[in-house]
Structures are given as structure tokens and as C-alpha cells.
Amino acid sequence: MKQDKKHYLTIRGRLFLAGIIIIAFGLTRLDQGRYVGPIEIYESQLKKEENNPKVILKLANAYYNKAILTSEQESLQLLDGAILLYEKALSIRKDPKTSYLLGQAYFKMAKFSEEKDGLYKKAENSFKFAEKEGVRKKEMFLYLGHILLLRGALDDSILYYGKALDFSPEDPIILYNIGYLFYEKGDFDTALLYLVKIGKRSLPEGIKINIHLLLAKIYEEKKDLVGARDEYKKVLSKEKTNFEAREALNRILEQIKEKQ
């Protein structure tokens, strides 16, 4: 049953979601355009064929992929170069795959920039153009879900995380993201449906803790005190110093005692 109570995204929740999105993309980013050779070769080719889209994209991809593997300061310079090249390639030919790559670069640049909102908006526009023109990528839908999450557009964020889930129906990270968003909307039953699908998969301890913590909060909202108690205990078994879980467990135990 959908709740009337309205929830707003907490800073803790946003930061956690941002963190697990980065983990997910960290495993797949290099697949988008492998580091294809010495940058100097492509820079030399571009001087000879400055309006050749293929040469422009080769150098842009090389800049982008090197940016992932280097220091923050060098990453900024490389990403800036990649963005300029992707934009130049698009000015020559409106290619949806190039638009997707540009969106990726904007998204990555936002991590380092104070102009995050503007870069996320540019990334969103690039991804949506690519989608409109037929590009279908799990990573692109995850990027869009994340961008819309940060803006607080919960329904749109759920829509794009759902599109990503179509590629990997058992992906625990996406299941958590969607479950969290339904929790924020106050739809605890639907949130629970997504979270229980995660099951007992092998995941980093930090992610397991957040899953148990969210389950505990949902059970508490649903007045399932035993379920909430058990999930808070699971959090504390993994992280004894978790103040939030400790405080909540004491509260739950008092309520259970009052009912006996």
C-alpha cells in the first residue's frame, strides 16, 4: 500500500547512491572506448586531418580513457580536451554514439568541477539525444538515473534505473537504487519488493550494511518491529559502532517490550 507520507532524499542516501554508481561504472567504463594507442600519434594525425571525425574521435577516446587512469589535475586537462573534441565531432556530424561519449565525459568532469549542475545537465541532454536516436546502453541509463536522482526527480530516476535493470534484472546495485527511491517516495511495499530480490549475494560489507539499514527502516515504517529489530542487529553485527543502528535498535526493543 502506497504511503501518503512524503520523503525527501537525505544527504547520506544521495552520497551512498553516488558511491555505488561509481563502483558500478568503475567496472565498465573502459569498455566504452578502449585506450586505443599513443596519444601523440592521434595528435599528429589530427594536425593533418583536423576535420576528420574518425581521427577526432580516436584522440577524444584516448584522452578520455587516459583521464580515468591518472591524477585529478591531469584528468581535468584530458577531460577538457576530450569534451572539446567530442563537441567538434558532433558539430561535423550529429552522431548519437558520439553524443553518448560526450555525455560520459561531461559526467566524469562533473566529479571534479564546481559547475556540477551545468555539467550534469549537459550530460543529461547528450544522453537523451543518444537515446532518442536509438542508443541503448545499461551504463547510459544508469548515468541518467543518477543525474535525475541528484536533482530529486524521483519518478524519472526510477524510470531510467528500471531501463538499466532490463539489461541485468538481478543487478544488486540497481535493485538497491530503485528500492531506495521507492522508500524516499514513501512506497515502502514496492521498496521492499526490490530489496528482497537482492538476496544473499556476495557484496562489499559497506553495501550490505546499507541494505540492512534500509530494510530495517522500511520494516519500522511498516510497524514490523521484529523485522526491523533483526535488520538493525545485522547492521550491528557488521559494524558495532553504527550509532544510527544502535539508537534505532534500542528504540525498537523498548517498543517490543511495551507490547508484551
Digit-coded pLDDT (tens) for 19-65: 444 444 443 444 444 444 578 888 888 999 999 999 999 999 999 98
- The reply to whether 183 falls in a domain is no
- The reply to whether 119 falls in a domain is yes
Residue 206 pLDDT grade (very low, low, confident, very high; cuts 50, 70, 90): confident
- The reply to whether 232 falls in a domain is no
Which residue from 83, 138, 90, 136 is spatially nearest to 110, judged by alpha carbons?
A: 83
- The reply to whether 215 falls in a domain is no
pLDDT tens for each residue of 117-146: 999 999 999 999 999 999 999 999 999 999
What pLDDT score was predicted for residue 97? 96
What pLDDT score was predicted for residue 113? 87
Which residue from 137, 159, 144, 133 is spatially nearest to 106, judged by alpha carbons?
A: 144
Contact status, residue 195 vs residue 182, Cβ threshold 8 Å: no
What pLDDT score was predicted for residue 71? 78
Domains of the chain: total = 1
What pLDDT score was predicted for residue 16? 54
pLDDT greater than 60 at residue 259:
yes
Which residue from 180, 168, 238, 230 is spatially nearest to 209, judged by alpha carbons?
A: 238
Helix (H, G, I), strand (E, B) or coil at 152: coil
Retrieve residue 168's grid coordinates: 541485468
pLDDT greater than 90 at residue 102:
yes
Contact status, residue 79 vs residue 105, Cβ threshold 8 Å: yes
Rounded CA Rg of the chain: 22
What pLDDT score was predicted for residue 10? 54
- The reply to whether 60 falls in a domain is yes
Residue 243 pLDDT grade (very low, low, confident, very high; cuts 50, 70, 90): very high
Which residue from 132, 171, 151, 100 is spatially nearest to 161, judged by alpha carbons?
A: 171
Q: What is the CATH number of the domain that holds 41?
A: 1.25.40.10
Which residue from 29, 77, 86, 78 is spatially nearest to 58, judged by alpha carbons?
A: 86
pLDDT greater than 60 at residue 246:
yes
Whole-prediction pTM = 0.83
What pLDDT score was predicted for residue 13? 54
Domain with 81, as residue range(s), is: 33-135
Which whole number is the average pLDDT over 222-241? 96
- The reply to whether 221 falls in a domain is no
pLDDT greater than 60 at residue 82:
yes
What pLDDT score was predicted for residue 42? 86
Residue 16 CA to residue 177 CA, distance in Å, equals 10
- The reply to whether 68 falls in a domain is yes
Residue 41 CA to residue 161 CA, distance in Å, equals 39
Q: Can you state the percent helix, strand and coil of the chain, rounding each to 5? A: 75, 0, 25
* Percent of the chain with pLDDT strictly greater than 70: 86
Provide the sign of the torsion angle of the four alpha carbons 24, 27, 29, 32, taken in this order. negative
Taking all residues of the chain, what is their mean pLDDT, rounded to a whole number?
87
- The reply to whether 59 falls in a domain is yes
pLDDT tens for each residue of 158-201: 999 999 999 999 999 999 999 999 999 999 999 999 999 998 88
What pLDDT score was predicted for residue 37? 57
